[in-house]
Amino acid sequence: MPSFVSSSEEEEMKKDMKMLLFTTCLVAIFVLPMMIGLLVPCAYGDDGETRWSISLLGGWGANAEPELTHIALLPSVEFPLSKLWSLGVEGNLSHYAISDKKDIDVLGVNGYGLLKPILWGRGSWFILAGGGLGYATTNRATDNLVRREFAGVIETGTGIEHKLTKTCSLKVEYRFVHISSPFVDDRGINTHNFVMGVTWP
Per-residue pLDDT tens for 58-83? 999 887 665 889 999 999 999 999 88
**Per-residue pLDDT at 3:** 47
Closest to 109 measured CA to CA, from 127, 133, 88 = 133
In a domain, 112, yes or no: yes
Asked if the structure places residue 100 within a domain, the reply is: yes
181 occurs within a structural domain: yes
How many helices (H) and strands (E) the chain has is answered by: 1, 8
The pLDDT score that the predictor gives to residue 142 is 54
How far is the C-alpha of 158 from the C-alpha of 116, rounded, in Å? 10
CA dihedral over 39, 172, 132, 118, signed as positive or negative: negative
- Nearest CA to 74 among 157, 165, 182? 157
CATH number of the domain at 101, please. 2.40.160.20
Neighbours of 30 (CB within 10 A): 15
| 51 within domain boundaries | yes
Residue 142 lies in a domain: yes
- pLDDT at 139 (0 to 100): 67
Report residues of the chain scoring pLDDT below 50.
Answer: 1-5, 40-46
Residue 2 lies in a domain: no
Q: Structural domain tally of the chain?
A: 1
* Domain assignment present for 1: no
pTM above 0.85, yes or no: no
Domain span at 171: 7-200
Say if 187 falls within a structural domain.
Answer: yes
φ, ψ for residue 19, nearest 5 deg? -65, -40
Give the pLDDT score at 181: 79
